[in-house]
Amino acid sequence: GVDVEDIAAMVLLIRGLNPRPSAEFEHVVAQTAIPDVLMKSLPKHVGGGYRVELNSETLPRVLVNRDYYVEVSSRTKDKKEKEYLSAQLTNANWLVKALDQRAQSILKVAAEIVEQQNGFFLYGIEFLKPLTLREVAEAVDLHESTVSRVTTGKFIGTPRGLLELKFFFTSSIESADGIAISSESVKARIKALTDEESVDAILSDDDLAEKLNGEGMNVARRTVAKYREALNIPSSVVRRRIKKSEL
């Protein structure tokens, strides 16, 4: 029941509104994960580099009360009861030892990851190197399945934020000079290129592949499309429409 001029005025009003109104009120990101391992930069006067240590707040506190064991066993005369108490003490000691070994395995694996991914911590995501569970397992003398287990659901607090240990294990793409490049580095470059687009220069998947290949990354168009979708980046047609609506 309105004329064209009223509709045009309404469109202008709607375009002037903020599609994310709550973004202005809260800028603190809720941290729902607690780091199992802490990575700290060391000062230059002690040689620089990083120190990796376990977060004591996340470690299970399990101790064997030997005084209680001695008290109970001293009052026990029956042979079967003594055998039962001895078995429970053995199980308790095994549990404490197993938890300690698990903590040490997490620390060893985390320290090796930090050493392997030094370029990432120094220069950013584009320097994340390809890394496999097997490579880390061989370096720290653990079974590959153990490395997989101790990195699943475990987080490390780093100067670059809170990251899951699994984040550092990525597949590789061979560069033009034969050097392996992390798939995460390629994804980061795709995101950077699409973020820099203007409405008059939206890049198609072919354009992105051409640019990446020009930078030494041998990436096919279908690989670009797969990575773009994994990053939840819309197609070039949709991105152009979004850019135009923001003008």
Question: How would you classify the pairing of strands 155-158 and 37-41?
Answer: parallel
Query: How far, CA to CA in Å, does 2 sit from each of 8, 9, 10, 12, 28?
Result: 10, 11, 10, 15, 43
Residue 34: how many CA atoms within 13 Å on its side-chain side?
Answer: 6
Lookup: tokens for 132: 């496999």
Residue 145's pLDDT is 93
What is the pLDDT tens value at each position of the chain, 247 positions in all?
889 999 999 999 999 898 888 877 766 666 678 899 999 888 777 777 888 999 988 888 888 999 999 999 888 888 899 899 999 999 999 999 999 999 999 999 999 999 999 989 988 888 888 899 999 999 999 999 999 999 998 999 998 889 999 999 987 777 666 677 888 888 888 999 999 888 888 999 999 999 888 888 888 889 889 999 988 999 988 898 888 887 7
- pLDDT tens by residue, 160-183: 889 999 999 987 777 666 677 888
Separation CA 156–CA 115 (nearest Å)? 14
Q: What is the predicted pLDDT for the residue at 148?
A: 93
Q: Would you say the pTM of this structure is higher than 0.75? A: no
The confidence score (pLDDT) of residue 87 equals 94
User: Is residue 191 within 8 Å of residue 231, measured between CB atoms?
Assistant: yes
| pLDDT score for 30 | 65
* Radius of gyration in angstroms for the set of CA atoms belonging to the chain, rounded to a whole number: 27
pLDDT of residue 47: 73
User: Does the CA dihedral 89-91-92-94 come out positive or negative?
Assistant: positive
